[in-house]
Structure 1
Amino acid sequence: MSVCILAILVLHAWLPAQAQTSFRFNKFNASTLYQVEHSSIRSGAICLTNQSQHVSGRVLYPQSVRMKDSNSTNTSSSFSTTFVFAMVPYSSDPSRSSGQGMAFLITPSKSPVEESSTQYLGLFNASNIGKAENHLFAIEFDTILNVDVQDKNDNHVGVDLNDLKSEEPETAGYWIGNRFHELDLKGGQNIQAWIDYDHTQQQLNVTIVEAGSLRPQKPLISLKNMTLSNIFEEEMYVGFSASTGTVVADHCVLAWSFSTDGSAPELDVSHLPSLIKRKKSNSRLIAGVTTALVLLLVLLVAAAIFSWKRNNYRNAKEDWETEYWPHSFDYKDLNIATKGFRDDQVLGSGGFGRVYKGVLPANGQEVAVKSIFRESTEGMKEFIAEISTLGRLQHRNLVQVRGYCRRGAKLFIVYDYMPNGSLEKMIFKKTESVLPWAQRYRILRDVCAGLEYLHEGWEKRVVHRDIKSSNILLDSELNAKLGDFGLARLYEHTENPQTTRVMGTLGYIAPELVHTGKAAPSADVFSFGVLMLEVACGRRPVDSSLDASQMVMEEWVKDLHAKGRLMHAPDPNLGGEYDDDEMEKVLKLGLLCCNPQPEARPSIRQVLQIIEGEASLPNLVPYEMSGGISSSFTSTGESFASTSKSLEGR
């Protein structure tokens, strides 16, 4: 009897071991993986797409993987994978070389999705996206901004569960200590990714870095309480999916390892090829050009050393510097002011650089010093835009620029220090004190006054394009000042805005920008409407932690208004301590500014007149369409267009 029991125990221990999967491919051949649609093998790498537009490709490990215990419906397997991938552009224009992106996936079926949409990375089609029966897990490396699925930006990594609305998406990059380095997914370079899921700890970590670099200790994405038992079926397939749109790129995997038994085997990335396309050149021409470049380089280095020795801190001014802003600071003074640009002087950071607190040695004045990363052309564009725009604007509700500094590749803007930080931090930081309603109302009036000056009060019309709470700064007396003009555009008052790329921040972007990209004043009005609702409700514009009916703040407030429960929207942290008439005015005015039809929105001057009590708010009545609450409102009696004429005359 004891022998039988022992045999059963041995068999029980042996069976799960056979269910474990582990493999490693340092290069690929035609028989390595199961290929679907437009995938192919090139130079030992497996590429999921080709030079065609609107195509999808998929590759899978040929055997299924046990991802759930057959004896339990609630226990999913842990897994670990690492791979090296590259998205190689076909165009030299970076704005037209991204394709759509690619994804690592775990799926229950080998078959491709019927009529899969390239818009959805080849993972879904229009009828099944978001449905629980997909049983699909994916880590997306996305290179487009798709507002329909609330993408963070056009260069992000996200965790997808049966949907492309990612869990906690993050800008692609990696951490070294406390400093974040952005990584361009569509740059063509080899990138290594690690994805680790521990089912016992219910934790998922995603990490990326340039291939050949050490793995960062801090993951890019770290999700806790992540349960995949309702996603995984007992047997699943692992692999990759990618798609192209109107622009094309190769989406290739150069090496891959995977394991459901501990960490994935390490990859040898030292000999992986670079897939970036290079033009063929004549060898003699190459030799001649190389020799000339070496000589030129020697001369340039000698000249640079000579120039540096003569003056370590001065730079010759360029034409645009004298034209846009005559006052410049010495780099030496800014270096002293910020204590050598130390990390403990950092006030905040953004997509193009960091902001440091400083004290000018000449007069002891406190300033904020914005450093611009010049590695990207966008950084230079932002620098020039902010200098040329903000340097010439004078208004009590705009952040005042004091000057600039340019030292080689280092660019700096110096402006007044705001000791109370941003409006976003003031509303959402967790402290015992709550920003009172009277102060919030005054801040909204200040911002509106500054925006009215930009649209109507200056010699040219300035469209800010990035109105949001983090760009509203507060001085020592909590006076609000609008800042960060890096995306601003200037027009003559009679000029029609030209079409540009969609810019701004998700949740604040006017819906027409998705289709036209035109930076019109009405788009700023929409963003200000969202800001008014944010300040009144104490909620962020988009909160993915809430259910679908409450996730988008603007739609949630519209729904409350339609149900006659608008006054359920105010920030509960205010404890009911607010002026009811003012609160109702701000909520309704915010909804009016958020009208999806640009021509139905008031001008910012009309908004300011209503806030200051010089004009009354039109009576808004929500209406229903197709069985649901419409995203627009209309005024009773006369139309808002005719009402606006009377407001303009006041």
Structure 2
Amino acid sequence: MSQMITLLLFLLFLTSPVFSQLDDLYFPGFNHVTSNMSLNGAAVIEKNGILRLTNNTQHTVGHAFYSSPVKFKNSSNGKSFSFSTAFAFTIVPENPRIRGHGFAFTISTSKELPGALPNQYLGLLNATDSGNFSNHLFAVEFDTVKDYDLHDINDNHVGIDINSVISNKSVPAASFLVNSTTEDLNLCSGRPIQAWVDYDSIKNLLEVRLSSFSKRPVSPILSCKIDLSPLFKDYMYVGFSSSTGLLTSTHYILGWSFSMKGEAKSLSLPSLPSLPGHKMNHTGLILGVSALATFLIILIVATTFYLSRKMKKADVTEAWELDIGPHRFSYQELKKATKNFRDEELLGFGGFGKVYKGTLLNSNTEIAVKRICHESTQGLKEFLTEIDSIGRLRHRNLVRLLGWCRQQGDLLLVYDFMANGSLDRKPIEPKALPEELILVDLVWDRWKSGAILDVVDPRLNGEFNEHEAVLVLKLGLMCSNNAPNARPPMRQVARYLEGEVALPALVAAPNAYDGKNVNANKVRRELVDHKHSYPVSSNLEKVSTWSFDGDYGDTDIEAGSDSALPSSGGSECK
């Protein structure tokens, strides 16, 4: 009979739940404790002894609990026991820049947590039962996603959860160092981090510590006054829970220490199993590198194009240009002065180009810029030599040449700006006669009639040099000829003005060569001799030479003599 009773008691023992009188556990890896752990969902123990709670599968949960329930409460007085735990973990996100959800150290009445959802619920609860006191759930979450519905403080925090995934209290992940300074910790750094959770049932005080080292910090980062006695039942399961969402992270527990009798033993991080080679998702990296490479190529092409255009437009100074007298302006300087050669700044059209008004920014000097498209058959060097000659002239009746600029095929001449008009027209009063409106015709008529000095401005009151007036007016007629090739070159004009040579006595009518080719024979026939129209001084009677080059070679027209002209043929005057 006694044997039957003994057998019956043995069978009852086998069919009853096994309650653990666990005091301490120390797992520096999980290779040899597989039988002590209850795993479900995505949780597995890998060959190297690391407990992996989740993988890169979307919307999944992973649970790993100590297989036997642990006594957390004194049955006689209903007071919960103190406990302490330490564990090392690593979180490796699939994409380093975009994190998945975190995990939680959990004490629960069930190790399966039926009905628990992934995503922001961390495999602990679901939308219906979250917040129910009947859950009897305690968790310390290590969350890496900021969920506004759950009032998360950031995407890298530690929180205390009581029967809900909305934390009662949370702080950013950090560690207190020996010198009382705080070190921020990135939970998703992929490096081992050790956590300590301690509950003192006498003080009703819960503390959480974090560190990237093996030594336990003196000060906690999270401290909370709470009595867990109403929450805990006599026996509870202790372990870990985690989940993934649309974005995934892999959660590893490298080692675990737990004690119901004082402070849990800290883990030595260097002695724990190393992480397996983790295959990162390089799609983002590849896209980033490709985008960067494309940007660099575009930048190089754009820079090359810009520098090429800048070099083409650069004001290159050649050695021979240093001998040119007037100041050379930069193209950009004149471009800014004329407001990019705007039509509003256009003063008029001159020979071979347009004239713009401008203001030099560095001195506020008003200038007139003549923009010439240089298409002359002369060489540029010779052309600039003529500019040098003009630039050296100083006369009160001549506009002063301030400088010049060469930009590719364009030549820009810079003059003093005349605020009250220009030298290309006579300042005609409103009462002037109709025949006086055309300045060239007026001067020519007075020349033919022998009254050339009548065109001098009466406001001078006769106070002028008559010889100089006749010289300038006569030279003006020669330079105003309708046929460009019949006008003297500027070098010759400069010689006339300097007094190096005298003007010829013969002057052609301004329209004498309209529509005709200029040659020596026509000049000889059509020049009008006004040698005696005005009693010129001996200086004007000097013999001067005007050179022609053409089919008959160089030919000189000598003032007061017809013998210099060839009997036939001729060439254009330059």
Shorter-chain TM-score tier: 0.3 to 0.5
Q: TM-score, normalised by structure 2?
A: 0.43
Rg larger in 1 or in 2? 2
Tell which has more relative contact order, 1 or 2 (C-alpha 8 A, sep 6+).
2
Q: Which has the higher helix share?
A: 1
Q: TM-score, normalised by structure 1?
A: 0.38
